[in-house]
Structure 1
């Protein structure tokens, strides 16, 4: 692994962790709506939100999906993906379409690097 590869991996890992923390913090600020939802209902709501994201026109997930994901994270659980293969495949195909866009690297890469540099600045 070259220094560039190591730095790239560090930036991506940092951005993913920062994004997850921001999503959980946002969910908590909004009042943790799903805190008392039974697991079976949480799973059903998660499946519906994932389906809406996969079938919808947007690349970014909905706030509902992010909140449900955050609730799973706060409970120390993962959603059951057994029945979600078709939605996951559809979502993967949707994201693959970004490969053909000339601005995709600038859009995604720029946000990742900006997050990393901002957080490094505040860390020091």
Structure 2
């Protein structure tokens, strides 16, 4: 059984910071679950280009506000508590923070290792890591 507390992630190498967001990587590939699980906060007034070509992602919005815009068709979706979106087609999109910090819970498949960073096209590379026993 794996048991973690979010406070145990804060300030460690599993808390990843970028200009537009901070992500606490709670479960990663090394945990052997077949997915990764993250708590991410999108900063107000920011815009991030994302195109996960190597991963599927599901996102559950817990608090705050924001917007996602799919680039292929320009559709915009308001984000707030209770909204779930899934990038089931590797959807290229803009993720925008609203007036309040947007806190989301994310699941990635295949799992992230925690070392990924967005490239110029908004893509995470496909990195793998053996589960630790």
Which of the pair is proportionally richer in helix?
A: 1
Task: Report if TM-score (shorter chain) is over 0.5.
Answer: no
Scaled by the length of structure 1, what TM-score is found? 0.26
